[in-house]
Amino acid sequence: MKNETTTNVEVIEAINTAVVTKKPATKKPATKVKSVNVKKALKVKPDGASAAEVNQYSKLVEQYSAAFNYFNEKLFDGKLKMPIITIQSQGRKSVYGWFFANSWSEGGDKSYNEINMAAENINRSKDQQCETLIHEMVHLYNSQEGLKDCNALQYHNNHFKAGCDMVGLHCEKKPGKGWALTSLTEELRVLINNLDVSFIENIARKKVESSYTKCWFISVREEDHEWFKSMRNSTGMTQKQLFSAMKELYEQSEVGSVEV
């Protein structure tokens, strides 16, 4: 037993000695991180495209902002407050742009006006884009002056015409829209020609042709409803076919009534 005990002690001592004298693990040197020039990396893309080509939206907003400041000084004596300039879809509207008063809010107690350039129509010439911008700037000027120059149906009244006359923007009446039809005078063309801003004229949002079904709703008495059902049964037409036929007869009638 003594020999076994001695042997065990020796083994334990040998283990302790090995632990103490164990060669420390060699620490690998930290991998050196290669510094990157962020500006350079953003400026040139792998395919060679510049940042301006990648983010065209920013460039478009910049060009409209620069043009706004230019026209503000030249036409409005610098009185206009810078609005939020956006490029949004015209939707179902047939417009080149719009002005929307106090449509943006910051912190709940500060608001900004909006001037939008319709995304589907910004691929027009520099003159045409500037004419739209000046048109909307007239709305902004009247809004700041407390003058309502357009109603919900987009009827442009005499306040709008007066604003156009002030800056030399020619306007004509458009059926149902008042003085909404604007165009550049020769003086404004010269002013735009002196605007040192390169305009993008070959980019625009694709126009999406929306399809929808026309529906008509009519209010009828109970006896008229029963008559309509009997007509549908006797003619063999569907409700839609019968209504379309009656509509066509109505439109052809000089007195606006239909005889059946």
Q: What is the pLDDT of residues 187-233, one digit of tens each?
A: 999 999 999 998 988 888 888 776 666 666 666 677 777 877 888 88
Same domain, 59 and 156: yes
Q: How many Cβ atoms are within 10 Å of 33's Cβ, its own excluded? A: 6
Structural domains counted in the chain = 2
145 & 215 share domain = no
Question: Residue 96: is its pLDDT beyond 60?
Answer: yes
pLDDT band at 240 (very low <50, low <70, confident <90, very high): confident
Q: Which domain holds residue 219?
A: 211-260
Joined together, the tokens standing for residue 142 give 């009247």
Q: Give the three-class secondary structure for 163.
A: helix
- Asked whether residue 182 falls in the same domain as residue 148, the answer is yes
Question: Greatest CA separation found in the chain?
Answer: 133
Q: Among 179, 111, 169, 174, which Cα is nearest to 138's? A: 169
CA distances from 70 to 80, 83, 195 (A): 11, 14, 7
Residues 186 and 226 in one domain: no
| pLDDT confidence band for 28 (50 / 70 / 90) | low
